[in-house]
């Protein structure tokens, strides 16, 4: 008898009929002899609706109140889902993040889980209940303030609960069949991966493949939680996210990811003195902006440098303000912002043992007349910033060049 955590995303609980379908799947899983813990997101569209209301009443809503507001969406789905499961004759109990014992730090709207007091969950499961936990939310120790975990936080709730109760499997139900070699909307013959390593999933998640939230993958890796990503709309087997194994090493490249949500900031003719880069990126970090790639070129005479970096598009105005002020102070020539860029990445744990991946990527892009603006590499990926309009072309030719088609 396995203990299974099933997480259902917004589209999977997006209507009364979808909630009933979730209840039916839970009942089926239980009938197969498993104990089931369910984690649910808000009904699709609900969180955006609440955010919209908040911005209508206040131009700058308090984040503590924002959390109280947003956490209501998952409460609604957890209660409705528990009712739907009970309507099928099972015992079910909805728990809020607080009741489930999900304790976080005090950083509202993007709190981090600190610990899970799983005893109430475990007791309910032992008493024969299907436990339905409101995802995305937690509570602080002491003051018991309501917190939320940031976008995609329900994935993290599910993986963290699975780790806390030592579940045999954490199933992430979404509206896609699993993890693909790339976006099937761009490459119709993209292939669904049977399994993928945590590290690869992490790169794909952070590079813009929206199947699984980054922090939940880190958590799954750290606590070695077996995760499967699958669709709640069919019975296809999905993609297993597991520890790296021998098989995987033989596959050099597992997938192609892209990210259209970045902007590129370039500071031109910055005096090349020690400590300049530190000053720039301290200021950027001070404004709570997460920088992704950084490239620095020194001019021919070695006295002036161009510094480029990428930030989320939503932060580009703020980043420009910070760098503009700095540029004036240090006598740089000017600051350029480009929002019409994208990042395309080749990912695979096989790169650790196979060389030539970067070279093949650059050749392939060059062969199709795609100029590379920035390059960044890690042990298991190579990323290039290119012109936004070439994104789809780049993904297609790379998918082809690395032989990923089904």
Where along the sequence are the contacts to a copy of itself (CB under 8 A)? 16, 19-20, 23, 50, 53-54, 56-62, 64-66, 68-69, 71-73, 75-76, 78-84, 86-87, 92-94, 96, 98-99, 144-146
DSSP-based three-state secondary structure for 329: helix
**Distance of closest approach, residue 32 Cβ to a copy of itself, in angstroms:** 23
Question: How many beta carbons lie within 10 A of that of residue 302, not counting itself?
Answer: 8
**Distance of closest approach, residue 109 Cβ to a copy of itself, in angstroms:** 12
Question: How many beta carbons lie within 10 A of that of residue 371, not counting itself?
Answer: 11
C-beta separation of 100 from 158 below 8 A? no
Report the C-alpha gap between 278 and 163 in whole angstroms.
38
Evaluate the CA torsion angle 176, 180, 184, 189 in order and state its sign: negative
**Nearer of residues 62 and 363 to a copy of itself, judged by Cβ:** 62
**Nearer of residues 98 and 264 to a copy of itself, judged by Cβ:** 98
**Distance of closest approach, residue 119 Cβ to a copy of itself, in angstroms:** 12
202: Cβ contacts below 8 Å, ≥ 6 apart: 214, 217, 218, 221
**Nearer of residues 17 and 379 to a copy of itself, judged by Cβ:** 17
**Nearer of residues 28 and 123 to a copy of itself, judged by Cβ:** 123
Q: Which residue do the tokens 């602080």 mark?
A: 140
**Distance of closest approach, residue 137 Cβ to a copy of itself, in angstroms:** 11
**In the chain, count of helices (H) and strands (E)?**
12, 20
Closest residue by Cα to residue 391 from 339, 338, 343: 343
Q: Which residue do the tokens 């090493």 mark?
A: 249
**Nearer of residues 23 and 322 to a copy of itself, judged by Cβ:** 23
Q: Strand pairing partners for 271?
A: 304
**Distance of closest approach, residue 60 Cβ to a copy of itself, in angstroms:** 8
Phi-psi region of 151 (alpha: psi -120 to 50; beta: other; left: phi over 0): beta
**Nearer of residues 67 and 177 to a copy of itself, judged by Cβ:** 67
**Distance of closest approach, residue 403 Cβ to a copy of itself, in angstroms:** 47
**Distance of closest approach, residue 64 Cβ to a copy of itself, in angstroms:** 7
**Nearer of residues 146 and 256 to a copy of itself, judged by Cβ:** 146
DSSP-based three-state secondary structure for 306: strand
**What phi, psi does 208 have (nearest 5°)?**
115, 0
């Amino acid at each position: 008898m396995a203990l299974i955590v099933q997480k259902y995303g917004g589209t999977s609980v997006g209507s009364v009929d979808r909630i009933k379908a979730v209840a039916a799947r839970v009942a089926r899983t239980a009938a197969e002899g498993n104990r089931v813990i369910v984690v649910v997101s808000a009904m699709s569209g609900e969180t955006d609706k609440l955010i919209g209301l908040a911005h209508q009443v206040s131009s700058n809503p308090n984040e503590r109140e924002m959390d109280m507001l947003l956490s209501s969406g998952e409460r609604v789905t957890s209660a409705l889902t528990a009712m739907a499961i009970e309507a099928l004759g099972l015992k079910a109990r909805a728990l809020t993040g607080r009741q489930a014992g999900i304790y976080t730090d005090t950083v509202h709207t993007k709190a981090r889980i600190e610990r899970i007091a799983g005893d109430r969950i475990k007791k309910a499961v032992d008493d024969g209940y299907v436990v339905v936990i409101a995802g995305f939310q937690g509570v602080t120790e002491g003051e018991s303030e309501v917190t939320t975990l940031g976008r995609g936080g329900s994935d993290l709730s599910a993986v963290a609960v699975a780790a806390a109760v030592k579940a045999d499997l954490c199933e992430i139900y979404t509206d896609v069949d699993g993890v693909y070699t790339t976006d099937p909307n761009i490459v119709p013959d993209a292939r669904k991966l049977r399994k993928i390593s945590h590290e690869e999933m992490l790169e794909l998640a952070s590079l813009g493949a929206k199947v699984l939230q980054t922090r939940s993958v880190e958590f799954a890796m750290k606590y070695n939680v077996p995760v499967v990503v699958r669709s709640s709309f069919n019975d296809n087997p999905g993609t297993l996210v597991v520890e790296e194994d021998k098989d995987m090493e033989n596959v050099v490249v597992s997938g192609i990811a892209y990210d259209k949500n970045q902007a590129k900031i370039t500071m031109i003719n910055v005096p090349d003195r020690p400590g300049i880069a530190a000053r720039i990126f301290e200021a950027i970090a001070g404004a709570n902006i997460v920088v992704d790639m950084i490239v620095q070129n020194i001019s021919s005479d070695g006295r002036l440098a161009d510094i480029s970096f990428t930030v989320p598009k939503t932060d580009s105005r703020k980043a420009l303000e910070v760098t503009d002020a700095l540029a004036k102070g240090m006598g740089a020539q000017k600051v350029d912002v480009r929002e019409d860029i994208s990042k395309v990445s080749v990912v695979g744990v096989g790169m650790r043992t196979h060389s030539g991946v970067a070279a093949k990527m650059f050749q392939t892009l060059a062969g199709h007349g795609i100029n590379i603006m920035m390059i960044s590499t890690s042990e298991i990926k190579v990323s290039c910033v290119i012109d936004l309009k070439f994104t789809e072309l780049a993904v297609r030719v790379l998918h082809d060049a690395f032989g990923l088609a089904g």
